[in-house]
Amino acid sequence: NVTAVAPSAAGFLTVFPCGTDQPLASNVNYVAGDIVPNAALAKIGTDGKVCIYTSAEADIVVDVNGFVPLGGSPESLDPARILETRSGPENETVDGQFEGVGRIEAGDTLTLKVAGRGGVPGNADGVFLNVTAVTPGAAGFLTVYPCNAGRPLASNVNYVAGDVVPNVVLAQLSPTGQVCIYSSAASHVVVDVNGYVPEGRTPGTVVPARILETRIGTGLDTVDGLFEGIGRRGAGSTLELTVAGRGGVPAEASAVFLNVTAVAPDAAGFVTVFPCGEDRPNASNVNYFAGDVAPNSVLAKIGDGGKVCLYTLAATDLVVDVAGEVPQPSIKGLVDASAGTGHACALDDEGGVTCWGEYWNGELGVGDIDIPGTNSSLPVTIPDFSATKVEASERFTCAVRTNGSAACWGRNIEGQVGDGTTTERLSPTDVSGLTNVIDVTTGLKHACALRSNGEIWCWGDNGAGQLGDGSNDDSLVPVQVTGLPGGKQATAIDGGREYTCALMDDGTGVCWGRNSNGQLGDPGGTSNTPVVVGGLADAVELEAGQNHTCARIDDGTVECWGRLNDLGNGDQGPGSTSTPETVAGLAGVVDISVGSIATCAALDDGTARCWGQNTSGMVGNGTIGGDPELTPIQVVGIEGDVLKVHVSGNGRFSCATLADTTVVCWGDNSDKELGSLSPGVDPRADSAVPLVVG
């Protein structure tokens, strides 16, 4: 919210990303002595800064109301002028269209093409526009709406004769990419575009609807008759306005885009909009003089009871229209995920990869982004990258590209990126020499890939023989696993902390690497070549942890081996076993995941069961700390059916992919590895119940 205070002459402010040229556009238009606020969707430029140009000397006040995470929606643009009704040498648009078209006459509607102009794609759902009424002939208003809908009872810009009044509008586009602009009085109109809502993304746009009208009189109605004619608001008063479930806003929305207008206030002052249930902030959204009609757009977080609160310093009438909503944060379209030790990644239904959490060594894969003072991030999508599988690990990540090659990124001290170097990689980097890859897995400091011909190749740390090539030598490039059983072919692989396992096409399994607790399924010691998991048959999934390993059997049961108290069969005391034992009471299992100190299973009834340590709430029993859960217990608080489970490599947090194509996570959150932007949730607080990623 950018406010020009007492400028010395008529002019304007332009907000733009530092490091780029100042655009032909404006955000706040003012006359001498004015106090003029306007909302701005501002793209961030060099060094995390925005630049503010003023054509006349003025004081400036800026309040921040929200942010767009890297890779999130809406998409911000360098401001571009797409309508200029005035004629003259400097009254131009970005492409020469809709330039010098003349005033909009009283009661007329102008149809404006938006999609495909000023950086807005042809399939955008909505746009952020800065709409300015210039020297109207009388008092009145502008309404911006999708041309395929009827003109609503709402306004976006309210003006008096001779005014220059800007306001930001979140406008829904018609199927042909147009908006209609109605003016109740003859007026010039200028429109700049600052951002857009990509197809199918948030925020959701709605046809504007009036949800508060304090005045009494004919035509002074709200969309549903609520909060209508309730009377002028007194000086220093706060109104609680219900917004959720009204005017097209879903009941579960987390925030709304409002147009708030102060009408004929008694004295100079301001309106502040804030979530009910929270303290009123030291900020303003609408600034006014006595007798003004002052509008402004507001991105308002919804508070207790689905309400926002409106405080006014001076007595005034208030009018509020809703133009859009922000749903509860989530990322849709996710079909798989992987939890590393301090970060996680998810794969969407178009092959896109989104990661969140710890970002010390480039493990999120989004390049050299600046996350000051945190070294962690909420979800970010890797640009220009698509995959069929993604695996997160200890500060590095690997994936199978859609072209059948393998790529890794992040920490590379032990050569775990596999590109022949030890150089840290901040974005996906091809693993040397691999083609026809169908699966990839990661351990603590090593990785492996399975090719379509059944060959397995591994790279990175090999101190415990986890590369399986018969040596204990680290490798910066892939080396082939030797000694796989003849007459069989590997169909899947999984990396433990310092060992690796492979599922064979006959339902048996082999493992190699560290064997301190029998986790290889063999009574012998550590092995740098594959050994057969003794007694395992009819397996359809094989998952490696740190000190134990588990297999899902084709009858829906689970068998585990290794350190006894990790196996899910209660307190068996110290010791270990290399022989698979069935996890008691666990049936109908459709997916399993094994971490170092926790294990989870997804069941065919849509629930999840976990067991193990619970120091950070990672078993999901609704508590944090206490004694370990040594037998499977149902994860509480998951809203939806669980398809897959994902336990972090260090076992300190867990995730699940749901049937509604969202991912939820619970447990340790010290590096934002739960990936949640849910309202009221501390982005670094551990959680004993699942939180939606997004």
Domains of the chain by residue range: 1-62, 67-199, 202-279+298-328
The CATH-assigned architecture of domain 67-199 is Sandwich (2.60)
Q: How far is CA 26 from CA 58, 112, 600, in A?
A: 15, 18, 54
Residues in the chain: 694
Q: What tokens does 376 get?
A: 């962690």
Cβ contact 130:194 at 8 Å: yes
Cβ contact 398:407 at 8 Å: yes
CA 311 to chain centre: 31
**261/271 Cα distance (integer angstroms):** 9
Q: What tokens does 365 get?
A: 């894969």
Dihedral over Cα of 182, 290, 167, 278: its sign = negative
Looking at residue 77, what is its pLDDT? Answer: 81
Share of the chain above pLDDT 90, in %: 68
Q: What tokens does 501 get?
A: 């396992």
Cα-Cα-Cα-Cα dihedral of 24, 30, 31, 34, to 10°?
Answer: -160
Q: What angle do CA 291, 1, 306 make, to 5 degrees?
A: 90
Residue from 259, 112, 125 nearest 183 by CA = 112
- Tell me: the pLDDT tens digits for 399-418? 999 999 999 999 999 999 99
Beta strands 376-381 and 353-358, pairing class: antiparallel
Looking at residue 325, what is its pLDDT? Answer: 83
* Whether pLDDT at 514 is above 50: yes
Identify the bridge partners of residue 11 per DSSP, sorted by sequence position: 30
Q: What global pTM score does this model have?
A: 0.68
Contacts of 90 (CB under 8 A, 6+ apart): none
* Amino acid of residue 451: R
Cβ contact 655:645 at 8 Å: yes
**121/476 Cα distance (integer angstroms):** 43
Label residue 554 by pLDDT band (50, 70, 90): very high
Contacts of 399 (CB under 8 A, 6+ apart): 353, 385, 387, 389, 390, 391, 406, 407, 408, 428, 440
**Burial (0-12, 13-18, 19+ Cβ within 10 Å), 589:** buried
Cβ contact 39:144 at 8 Å: no
Looking at residue 156, what is its pLDDT? Answer: 87
Phi, psi of 145 (to 5 degrees): -155, 160
Share of the chain above pLDDT 70, in %: 96
Residue from 668, 617, 44, 69 nearest 377 by CA = 69
Label residue 283 by pLDDT band (50, 70, 90): confident
- SS3 sequence of 290-345: CCCEEEEEEEEECCHHHEEEEEECCCEEEEEEEEEEECCCCCCCEEEEEECCCEEE
**414/401 Cα distance (integer angstroms):** 22
Looking at residue 372, what is its pLDDT? Answer: 44
Q: What tokens does 98 get?
A: 């809709």
**63/54 Cα distance (integer angstroms):** 17
Q: What tokens does 141 get?
A: 């208003």
Label residue 29 by pLDDT band (50, 70, 90): confident
- Tell me: the pLDDT tens digits for 557-584? 999 999 999 999 999 999 999 999 999 9
Residue with tokens 């990785």: 447
* Whether pLDDT at 205 is above 70: no
Question: What average pLDDT does the segment 297-307 reach?
Answer: 87
* Amino acid of residue 394: E
Question: What average pLDDT does the segment 228-256 reach?
Answer: 92
Looking at residue 479, what is its pLDDT? Answer: 98
Looking at residue 79, what is its pLDDT? Answer: 81
**460/481 Cα distance (integer angstroms):** 13
Cβ contact 548:562 at 8 Å: yes
Q: In 10 A of CB 453, how many CB atoms?
A: 9
- Lowest average pLDDT, out of 150-154, 252-256, 644-648, goes to 252-256
* Whether pLDDT at 255 is above 60: yes
Residue from 312, 332, 335, 320 nearest 261 by CA = 320
**579/518 Cα distance (integer angstroms):** 8
Looking at residue 154, what is its pLDDT? Answer: 85
* Whether pLDDT at 189 is above 70: yes
Question: What average pLDDT does the segment 264-272 reach?
Answer: 93
Label residue 242 by pLDDT band (50, 70, 90): very high
Residue with tokens 């669980």: 642
Residue from 650, 658, 662 nearest 694 by CA = 662
Question: What average pLDDT does the segment 41-52 reach?
Answer: 88
Contacts of 429 (CB under 8 A, 6+ apart): 407, 408, 409, 417, 419
Q: How many CA atoms within 13 Å lie on the side-chain side of 486?
A: 0
